[in-house]
Amino acid sequence: MSRALPQPATLRPVEVAAPERFAHSESRKAMFRLDQDMIVTIDGPAASGKTATAEELARVLGLQVLSTGAMYRCATAIAMEHKIAREHTFRLLEIVRKSHMHFNWHAKTEEGRPSPEIIAFGKSYAKRITDEEVTSNVSEFSEVIPLRELMVGMQRDIAKAHPRLITEGRDQGSVVFPDADVKFFLWASPRVRAERRRQQLLVKKGIDRDLGELEKEIAARDENDRRKPYGALVQPEDALSINSDKLDLAGVVALMRDHVLAKARA
């Protein structure tokens, strides 16, 4: 059993024909085909492996991937760099708009996997958004409802430009794309997520955090996210729930891939 969700190398991409657009938007709810536009959402609590899962599932299915968490982290980093408190809503929205936040869709990880890179003010924020300072403050800034409304609009605009998309976050299937073709809710226990987060910090940054403290922080964030007045952490009724406590990344992606294929054939 792997706690760190290692990258799989065994799943082969699903082969489909060239993309086609739907003739009528109302047909999206009834059925979809793998060679047409489709939106797949992955929601779930923090540190549940949504980003890595979305990136690998996108590779297997031949889709693009959107990390909404990267957008909120980028907005948080921008606010902190410009010394803007969350209460100063007008200035916050103004600076985020001026940043021209977008993604470099051609970026890849060191392993060669597609991993869109968040860009603002013409420079990459990919490393900045992983700083502990940003991690500690992103939940606070993501509570700002006007900022969430701005982000929801931006995410929907991205989907219009990239209509074959896997999008992950906290409210993708419940708020942003309630009519998505396929929805997932990915979760793991606070203890397992704390172990994965601790390992990630050790490997990537050489930081050794206390496991008990990390578990408490994750549990507290879960409770806070469930109480959000807008974009709260909820499992959409039509989402497939996946507990990754005893699954590695390959196992999670295989379950999701098979579910998408089954839905496409229905």
Range from 82-91, 168-177, 197-206, 242-251 carrying the lowest mean pLDDT? 197-206
CA distances in angstroms from 204 to 130, 197, 199, listed in the order given: 10, 10, 8
Q: What is the pLDDT of residue 221?
A: 87
Q: Is residue 169 part of a domain?
A: yes
Give the residue numbers spanning the domain of 211: 37-250
Specify if 256 maps to a domain: no
* 196-239 residue pLDDT tens: 999 988 988 899 999 999 999 999 989 988 988 888 899 999 99
Q: Please, what is the angle between helix 68-81 and helix 89-98, to 10°?
A: 110
pLDDT in tens, 116-135: 899 999 999 999 999 989 98
Please indicate, yes or no, if residue 15 is contained in any of the structural domains: no
Tokens representing 231?
């974009």
User: At 11, is the pLDDT very low, low, confident or very high (cuts 50, 70, 90)?
Assistant: low
Helices (H), 62-176: 68-81, 89-98, 132-141, 145-161
Q: Which two tokens stand for residue 71?
A: 């957008």
Q: State whether residue 43 is helix, strand or coil.
A: strand
Query: What value does the CA radius of gyration of the chain take, rounded to a whole number of Å?
Result: 18
Domain-embedded: residue 8: no
Closest C-alpha to 259, from 233, 238, 245: 238
Q: Which two tokens stand for residue 55?
A: 């990136």
Distances (CA, A) of 161 to 53, 120, 154, 165, 225: 22, 18, 11, 10, 29
Domain presence at residue 3? no
Q: Is residue 167 part of a domain?
A: yes
CATH number of the domain enclosing 54: 3.40.50.300
**1 located within any domain:** no
The helix/strand/coil state of 22 is: coil
Flag whether 55 is in a domain.
yes
Please state the φ and ψ torsions of residue 241, each to the nearest 5 degrees: -85, 130
Nearest CA to 33 among 11, 56, 10, 62? 62
Total number of domains constituting the chain: 1
pTM of the model: 0.84
pLDDT in tens, 54-109: 999 999 999 999 999 999 999 999 999 999 999 999 999 999 999 999 999 888 77
Q: How many helices (H) and strands (E) does the chain have?
A: 9, 8
